[in-house]
Structure 1
Amino acid sequence: MQLHDRTFLLLGGTGGIGKALIDPLLEAGARVVVATRRLEQLAHRRGVLPVYLDLASMNLDEQLQQLSEVYPDIDGVIHCAGQNRFAALDAMPVSELDAQLTVNLRSALLVAQHFVPRFRKAGVGALVFVGSTFGSIGFPGYTAYCASKFGLRGFTEALRRELADTPLQVIYVAPRATATAMNPDAVTELNRALGNTMDAPETVAAEILKAMAKDERRRFLGWPEKLFVVINGILPKIVDRAMLKQLPVIRRFLNTGAVS
């Protein structure tokens, strides 16, 4: 995929990974339409086109239609917006369950539903979705987040196969733990206690761009996380036993009620 002279809609552009994508996209010669609810967080700069968009809104389809009318030259979407909450399932309000499913999964479906017909008509288009290792491995304390990311992975796989006879590109990138503001201190401390590596947002952004440049269908980040994804898919009992050993440590941090 060539980035030069492309116009990408970036969802989650004020978050850690999204913000880290802006400069490389600009340097590659792309224009970036950054959609956010927090327009005040975006500095005015050449090549960056800020637009208001609320991925949690019930009228997201109407907002996308309005956006396309203003920016009809969009020929790529990078969806890296997300929400999570590290908490036991029975401690999570329904509103927070809904928020994660709405932003992490529903918005991705609606974005694709809106742009696929336009990209197909234009004969070119790319849909890039940022998932998570937790879209392949269920992790205690992230039940809702895992559900949404498992769903996102399945959705992108089905969509890619649905569009296999078209020139449209569907790419899924799954980072491991990433050092962003979305993670509260308790989660950072948990990762340290478990010995989990946390990547910088810039590292993840570079991997996303590599996947786009190589037109990869999916890319999983981190070692040994990539290995655990494979093992979990073939012999999940091995991962079950490993998680059971970690559970006392996870519960210690889980009981802090960490919110992101």
Structure 2
Amino acid sequence: MRLHDRAFLLIGGTGGIGKALIDLLLAAGARVVVATRHPERLENRTGVSPVYLELCSPELDQQLQQLSEACPAIDGVIHCAGQNRFSALETMAVSDLEAQLNVNLRSAMLVARHFAPRFRKAGTGALVFVGSTFGSIGFPGYTAYCASKFGLRGFTEALRRELADTLLQVIYVAPRATATAMNPDGVIEMNRALGNAMDAPEKVAAEILTAMTKDERRRFLGWPEKLFVVINGVLPRIVDKAMLKQLPLIRRFLDSGAVS
């Protein structure tokens, strides 16, 4: 995929990974339209255009139409917005559950539904979705998040095959744990206790651009996480046993109230 002189709609551009993506896209010669609930808070930069978008809105489809009309040059979309909530399912508020499904899955589906016909008509276009290792491995305390990311992985796979006879690119990138503000201190402490590595946002952003420039269909990040994804798909009982051993420690963080 060529990045120079292209216009990308970046959804989730105010988060840690998103901010790093802006820098890399600009350095590659691309223009970036950053969709956010608070465009007035975005720093003024050459090559960056802020636009309003509310991913949880019931009117998201209409907002996308307005955005598309205002920014007709967009020929690629990167969806890296995400919400998570580390909580036992029984203590999770309904609003938190709905927010994760709306932001992580529903908004991605509506974005693709809007832009795929437009890109197909133009004869070119890219739809890039940032998932998670937890889109392939269920993890205690992340039931809703895993459900949304499993859904996103399945959606992108089906969409890629649905558009296989077109020139549209559908790319799925699955980072492992990333050191962003989305993860509170308690989750960071838990990952340290479990020995789980956390990548810097800049590293993840670079991997996303590598997947784009190499026209990869999917890219999973981190070792041994990539291996666990394969094992979980073939021999899930092995991962079940490993998780059972970790469960007392995980439950200690779940029950401590340090993260919620």
Task: Give the letter for the 1:152 counterpart.
Answer: L
Task: Give the letter for the 1:26 counterpart.
Answer: L
Residue 147 of structure 2 corresponds to 147
- Call closer, same or farther: CA 1:146–1:2 in 2, change over 3 Å: same
Cα displacement (A) at 1:39: 1.9
Task: Give the letter for the 2:18 counterpart.
Answer: G
Cα displacement (A) at 1:259: 5.2
TM-score by length of 2: 0.99
Specify every segment of 5 or more residues in structure 1 that has no aligned partner in the other structure, as ranges: none
Please tell me whether residue 123 in structure 1 is matched to residue 123 in structure 2.
yes
Residue 109 of structure 2 corresponds to 109
Residue 159 of structure 2 corresponds to 159
- Deviation per CA, 1:133-152: give whole Å up to 9, x if none: 00000000000000000000
Distance in 2 separating the partners of 1:217 and 1:252: 38
TM-score by length of 1: 0.99
Residue 65 of structure 1 corresponds to 65
- Deviation per CA, 1:190-233: give whole Å up to 9, x if none: 00000000000000000000000000000000000000000000
Contact 1:140 1:250 in 2 (8 A): yes
Contact 2:10 2:79 in 1 (8 A): yes
Distance in 2 separating the partners of 1:87 and 1:70: 39
- Deviation per CA, 1:152-209: give whole Å up to 9, x if none: 0000000000000000000000000000000011000000000000000000000000
Distance in 1 separating the partners of 2:251 and 2:94: 21
Identity of aligned residues (%): 83
- 1:184-195 equivalences under 5 Å are 184-195=184-195
Distance in 1 separating the partners of 2:98 and 2:88: 15
Distance in 1 separating the partners of 2:258 and 2:3: 39
Distance in 1 separating the partners of 2:147 and 2:160: 20
Contact 1:36 1:54 in 2 (8 A): yes
Distance in 1 separating the partners of 2:26 and 2:123: 23
Distance in 2 separating the partners of 1:251 and 1:163: 42
Distance in 2 separating the partners of 1:252 and 1:9: 40
Please tell me whether residue 205 in structure 1 is matched to residue 205 in structure 2.
yes
Distance in 2 separating the partners of 1:121 and 1:209: 25
- Alignment: residue pair count: 260
Specify every segment of 5 or more residues in structure 2 that has no aligned partner in the other structure, as ranges: none
Task: Give the letter for the 1:182 counterpart.
Answer: M
Q: Once superposed, what is the RMSD of the aligned Cα atoms? A: 0.8
Q: SS where residue 230 of structure 1 aligns?
A: helix
Contact 2:185 2:259 in 1 (8 A): no
